[in-house]
Structure 1
Amino acid sequence: MWNLNQQLPVTLISCLLLIACGGGGGGEGGSSTPSGSGSVSSPSGQTLKITDLVIEHDNDLASIYEVDIDVSLPHLAASQVYISICDNGGGGIENIDYEKCMVKSSLNSGYGQYQLRVPNHCDSLIAVVSVMEPDTPALVYTLNHNNQAETTWLIQ
């Protein structure tokens, strides 16, 4: 028969040890580093102290930038037109993954306005304007990120 008074301290100590040790190992390939060490290994293998890092005064450490997009294509007002705005990391229209585009929309009489919050790793955006008429090639526009927190992109 169990004696609750004897079993409770053992269970409590076991739980505290598990929490203090960080729980499980995290599976294959997992590694742990001391969280309060204050040092980082550089690619060359040197250990750097956190105080050795230099961050420029104007770097706010933001992970996104904002793009206001204005599309003005009045010559396409009579056509059915779609726009896709995507990361241009693949280097051109032939490498676009349309499932991952930030905007997929139709234009209203050749006009559209979009506001995007883009992650910093997207150095370039590509806009593909598809006109739904036979033998009409897509119009392609690109924007290279200029390291500004806000950018305006006029597509015309």
Structure 2
Amino acid sequence: MNKLTHKIAAQTKNNATAANYHSEQSAAEQDEHKQTWFDFLQRKGTPMNILPSLLAISVISLLSACGGGGGGGESPAPVANTPTSTGGTDTGGTGDTDTGGTDEGDDQTPPEEPTPPEEEEPTPDPTSLDDLVVDADFEMQAVFELEVQVALTNGKRGYFSLCDDFTQGANITVNYESCLLRGPLDNGQLNDTLKVANHQASLMAVVWFYDGSEPQYQSWQYDNQVEQQQLTFN
């Protein structure tokens, strides 16, 4: 039992001595590495004020290469930085940044188109009697009354005709088949009233004499300025 105890104690002492040896050897190597970098930078003419910083960087690099504090010798994988698009940022190689990505003209509301005026629908032409619009005071009559008064001063016997189909020019031609009134004169006189259609606004009156003398003619036109239409033959 005592021999086993002495053997374990001796082994533990040897392990501690070996650990101290390795620690002292690693520290010596680090000091030697620092001195080597220090001498190298002095030969290159590096300013003295930045030498401590460069030495600190060298030590950190060395420690990282050796495992750096129990990290298992593995360094974390670098994280890739993904550039973030800011929606319309245009560097353009000139250093100017266009933020927003919009033009001032895009913010302007287009002018509203004017509303055309409403056109009134035209009134269709009447196609039947139901479509006709008549004033309340309009008397829809197809005929009018015409008073005929013949009074010849010569007292000759004659025959009177009133016709609507005639031609008036250098010579007067009358279609006696179109006459509206016919009758003999009594001592050169005749009085009568007849109804005339509205479209017969122009008439020709003729008196033929029994003695063979030249007939007398007198034209008549409708007069819309008077209420009672009248033909006077003298």
* TM-score bracket for this pair, using the shorter chain length: 0.5 to 0.7
Correspondence 1:65 to 2:112 = no
**Displacement over 6 Å in runs of 4+:** none
Deviation at 1:73, TM superposition (A): 0.4
Give the direction of change, closer, same or farther, for the CA distance of 1:49–1:112 in structure 2 (3 Å limit). Answer: closer
Of 214, 217, 224, the match for 1:140: 217
CA contact (8 A) 1:66 1:150 kept: yes
Note if 1:96 corresponds to 2:174.
yes
Mark the CA change 1:155 to 1:55 in structure 2 (over 3 Å): closer, same or farther: same
Counterparts of 2:138 and 2:205, CA distance in 1: 28
Instruction: Look up the SS of the partner of 1:152 in the other structure.
Output: strand
Structure 2: which amino acid aligns with 1:139?
Q
The 3 A distance-change label for structure 1 pair 49 and 131 is: closer
> Which residue is equivalent to 1:74?
153
Provide the residue aligned with 2:89 in structure 1: none
The superposition leaves residues 57-89 of structure 1 with CA deviations (integer Å, 9 ceiling, x where unpaired) of 5431100010111111021x1x221110111x4
- 1:27-68: CA deviation from partner (whole Å, max 9, x where unpaired): xxxxxxxxxxxxxxxxxxx65366764434543110001011
Distance of aligned partners of 1:103 and 1:47 in 2 relative to their CA distance in 1, 3 Å threshold: closer
Q: Note the C-alpha offset of 1:100.
A: 2.7
Flag the 1:113–1:52 CA change in 2: closer, same or farther, 3 A: same
Gaps of 5+ in 2: 1-123
Q: In the alignment, residue 66 of structure 1 is paired with which amino acid?
A: E
Tell me: CA distance 1:60–1:91, structure 2 relative to 1, closer, same or farther (3 Å): farther
Structure with more of its chain in strand, by fraction: 1
Q: Provide closer, same or farther for how the CA distance between residues 120 and 47 of structure 1 changes in structure 2, counting only shifts above 3 A.
A: closer
The aligned runs of 1:115-134 (5 Å cut-off) are 115-134=193-212
How many angstroms does 1:153 deviate by?
1.7
Give the unaligned 5+ runs of structure 1: 1-45
Give the alignment's TM-score, normalised by structure 2. Answer: 0.40
Asked if structure 2 preserves the Cα contact closer than 8 Å seen for 1:130 and 1:137, the reply is: yes
More helix as a share of residues: 2
Q: Which fold has the larger relative contact order, with Cα–Cα distance below 8 Å and residues 6 or more apart in sequence?
A: 1
Number of aligned positions between the proteins = 107
CA distance in 2, matches of 1:84, 1:138: 11
Q: Higher Cα Rg: structure 1 or 2?
A: 2
Q: Using a 3 Å threshold, how does the CA distance of structure 1 residues 48 and 103 change in structure 2: closer, same or farther? A: closer
* Cα deviation, residue 131, structure 1: 1.4
Work out which of the residue numbers 187, 197, 213 in structure 2 matches 1:109: 187
Closer/same/farther in 2, CA of residues 59 and 47 from structure 1, 3 Å limit: closer
Normalised by the size of structure 1, how large is the TM-score? 0.58
Name the amino acid aligned to 1:63.
Answer: A
- Matched residue type, 2:181: V
